[in-house]
Amino acid sequence: MARQFFVTGTDTGVGKTMLSALLCAALDAYYWKPIQTGTEQDSDSRTVAEIAELPPQRIIPEAYQFAPAVSPHLASRLAGNRIELSKIQLPAAARNSTLIVEGAGGVMVPINERELMVDLMRHLALPVLLAARSSLGTINHTLLSLAALRAGGVKVAGVVMIGKLNAENLEAIDHYGEVRVLGEIPWMAQLNRASLLEIFATRFDRGFFVPVAKRAAGS
């Protein structure tokens, strides 16, 4: 059965794109970022394609793109193009395939005058992976994000911690958040497909992400 996840984060810049690239490389997945802001500076789709070495057909075009690097609700208002959840549907090309969907910003980022990123997650009905920093402050940020996801009726698959390895913070999030920490991504001197695959093999719960039958076939 194809695995599909929505990747969100405790904050902007926490490492959602790096986690998305890692999963796309490790799971041979499609990548889709429904809402992209900041295209005048960069594109997460391009970043994922480069570091995960995904072929063009594995990158699903965005539903909405905006040039300014601001919150989606503001970017869409400036562009005069309101973001409509009804216009964001799981892409047909990846409907029965492994798919990684990346959100914009954190869980409570507004996307229009009424709806938040958590509403998009509920709309797409995919289990959520929460990217969290490993550093000081992460316990509070992560527990608040988990509370918001659960209050929003979203299924939480687990947490991935990003940054310098911190066993105490990992244990605290696992315990107080009542959630599985499914992986850790430490700082990497080189960010490329090979380094991402190495981290997945050594720092992730591969049994959660890769079905037994698939692992046996690849062994």
Catalytic residues: 33
Query: How far is residue 91 from each of residues 23, 32, 65, 180, 186, measured CA to CA in Å?
Result: 18, 8, 16, 28, 32
Place of tokens 């107080």: 176
Give the CA-trace dihedral at 167, 170, 174, 179, to 10 degrees. -140
CA–CA gap between residue 166 and residue 13 (Å, rounded): 19
C-alpha closest to that of 146 among 171, 179, 116 = 179
